[in-house]
Structure 1
Amino acid sequence: MSKKALGRGIDALLKTEKRDFSSVIEVPLDSLVVNPYQPRQDFDTETLKELADSIKQKGIIQPILAESKDDGKYLIVAGERRVRAARIAGLREVPVIVKRFTEEEKLEIALIENIQREDLSPIEEAYAYKRLIDISKLNQEEIAAKVGRKRSTVANTLRLLKLAPPIQEALRKGSITPGHARALLMVEDLEKRKVLFNRILNKGLSVRQTESAASLFKKKVDTSKNKSLSLEKKLTPELKDIEQRLIDAFGTKVSIKGTNSRGKIEISYFSLDDLNRILDILS
């Protein structure tokens, strides 16, 4: 089944309907340097070996896309995976199309190339979107149009960056799935989120089990908040009277939280002088 074209596509970025292979040159592998905008951090060894075997038999069908550097080297814009496989295959040179690109185009092309193969991890994709937004100053909807994604997809992927580094690393390595990650984001309390994350790893919770646990965590937090609000709202007439007398005595906001048997008093101050004034009254 053919894949749907993403955004403008690499051909559109090259500003040509048909790639001009007459401009292809042979470049030594040692002269090619990695694109710092490459979103993919992990290259699967097995699939690289399969590609290397194919290159040995058929050569590199699609040239590498690169930009010339001042030091005589060539920056890989698209095709790092092919370059890695070519090294494994024992090639010394590879076909390259050399063009000039803006910083935004370098990242956009690298991102589109990887998304088209659908082998970027969700975290790698999230960081690529963020970097593209930082460089281009475009909003999520405009970024989505560029890479051929729905705005909601881009937004949900970017939300993964709110997860703690250990959780991001687990997602990048495949120890947890995007479904697990989205369920963890339901838990706003960071400590409780960490507890649930460890439970996923140690007990092998499914996505559905994680969602149920996250809902329980959220329900407990909401219940706790409601109890707190209930205590604040249900002051007895005696406590309301005492609260007002304290406000009059200290000349500032005073809150009583609790019941006739137990609770706490909060006295607000709004400057160091105000605090010293309150201390003088207390002493």
Structure 2
Amino acid sequence: MKRSAKNIKLASVDDLFSTEESRADENREKIVELPLTELFPFKDHPFKVIDNEAMFDTAESVKQYGVLVPAIARPRDEGGYELVAGHRRKRACELAELDTMPVIVRNLDDDEAVIIMVDSNLQRENILPSERAFAFKLKLEAIKRQGARTDLTSTQVAQKLSAEKVGDDAGVSKDQVRRYIRLTHLIPEILSMVDEKKIAFNPAVELSFLKNEEQTNLLDAMDMEQATPSLSQAQRLKKFSNEGKLTLEVMSAIMSEEKKGDLDKVTLTGDKLKKYFPKSYTPKQMEETIMKLLEGWHKKRTRDQER
């Protein structure tokens, strides 16, 4: 039986004359210069882009040498490109008054994009606890979806393997990954205090088990007593919360306790010291002068004791 002509597929002219090398080249990733106006931030990006001294240094470097490491972006359905890696470089380009930046465009699904975004940012030296917390959470969820296993006996086993993967990639234990993720349960005001080192990491993990309303009340208690919880105090706050007994009065009572470390601590604020020094003195000059006075006093006291 004769074949119908309409079923015969003819090669295009481009296919006939293209080489295997040129076809492979088409599939290779290329660096393209894209307008900054076409680059949009990653959805729920956990890393902050701040105009600080480091950013201004980066902008100056970009102005002199350009962007040395291309950003990574993926096409958006609504047009333009979503940045996966390179948010700080884009901001540096804006400060350097550039219109474009080099970008590698990749077709990535949501989970692939999350993993690249987190891993590229975790290489930075200075990362806030809140940034690490939300980054670990995003990556853990992506790995769980990406590596869903039907041969595991329970979801707990799958979660354990996912946490181990996140920890291995970041150089920390799976337990530390979980502890960081606990910080995402803190209300923004308390989480900011963790970033600002007003509340230490370990107490913050314990406070993350408090209900949102209790955390809000804790802010009032901390403000009234001008204190932040130690680890033991945070553990007791958590215990009272679990028992349903954590009232504002209980919080205030706990926060008013004198901490063991405060018993031997002497605090001299700048306001107290300024009246003893010329107005032109800097804090460093005041400190150096005080140390010299103390050394002189100590030597005199030692001589007197030896007589």
What is the TM-score of this pair, normalised by structure 2? 0.54
1:211 matched to 2:231? The reply is yes
> How many angstroms does 1:164 deviate by?
3.5
Aligned to 2:176: 153
> How many angstroms does 1:81 deviate by?
0.4
Question: Per-residue displacement from partner, 1:78-97 (whole Å, max 9, x unpaired)?
Answer: 01100011010011111111
Give SS of 2:122's match: helix
Residue of 109, 112, 115 corresponding to 2:116? 109
RMSD: 3.5
1:95 matched to 2:102? The reply is yes
For residues 68 and 177 of structure 1, do their structure 2 counterparts lie closer, same or farther at Cα, with a shift above 3 Å needed? same
Q: Which has the higher strand share?
A: 1
Q: Residue 184 of structure 1 contacts residue 197 of structure 1 at CA under 8 Å; is this kept in 2?
A: no
> How many angstroms does 1:44 deviate by?
4.1
Q: For the residues of structure 2 that align with 1:59 and 1:222, how far apart are their CA atoms?
A: 55
Aligned to 2:13: none
Residue of 204, 219, 232 corresponding to 1:181? 204
Matches within 5 A, 1:1-283: 23-137=30-144, 139=159, 140-172=163-195, 174-182=197-205, 184-185=207-208, 198=220, 200=222, 205=227, 210-214=230-234
Give SS of 1:113's match: helix
Q: Which runs of 5+ in 1 are unaligned?
A: 1-20, 226-283
For residues 173 and 44 of structure 1, do their structure 2 counterparts lie closer, same or farther at Cα, with a shift above 3 Å needed? farther
- Higher RCO structure (Cα 8 Å, ≥6 apart): 1
Q: For the residues of structure 2 that align with 1:223 and 1:28, how far apart are their CA atoms?
A: 57
> How many angstroms does 1:75 deviate by?
1.6
For residues 210 and 44 of structure 1, do their structure 2 counterparts lie closer, same or farther at Cα, with a shift above 3 Å needed? farther
> How many angstroms does 1:162 deviate by?
3.2
For residues 60 and 204 of structure 1, do their structure 2 counterparts lie closer, same or farther at Cα, with a shift above 3 Å needed? farther
Give SS of 2:46's match: coil
For residues 118 and 222 of structure 1, do their structure 2 counterparts lie closer, same or farther at Cα, with a shift above 3 Å needed? same
Q: For the residues of structure 1 that align with 2:241 and 2:71, how far apart are their CA atoms?
A: 53
For residues 158 and 93 of structure 1, do their structure 2 counterparts lie closer, same or farther at Cα, with a shift above 3 Å needed? same
Q: For the residues of structure 2 that align with 1:169 and 1:223, how far apart are their CA atoms?
A: 27
Q: Residue 123 of structure 1 contacts residue 168 of structure 1 at CA under 8 Å; is this kept in 2?
A: yes
For residues 198 and 73 of structure 1, do their structure 2 counterparts lie closer, same or farther at Cα, with a shift above 3 Å needed? same
For residues 45 and 202 of structure 1, do their structure 2 counterparts lie closer, same or farther at Cα, with a shift above 3 Å needed? farther
Aligned to 2:251: none
> How many angstroms does 1:221 deviate by?
8.8
Q: Which moved more, 1:22-31 or 1:172-181?
A: 172-181
Q: Residue 184 of structure 1 contacts residue 196 of structure 1 at CA under 8 Å; is this kept in 2?
A: no
Aligned to 2:151: none
Q: Which runs of 5+ in 2 are unaligned?
A: 1-27, 148-158, 246-307
Q: For the residues of structure 1 that align with 2:242 and 2:182, how far apart are their CA atoms?
A: 22
Aligned to 1:240: none
What fraction of aligned residue pairs are identical, expressed as a percent? 30
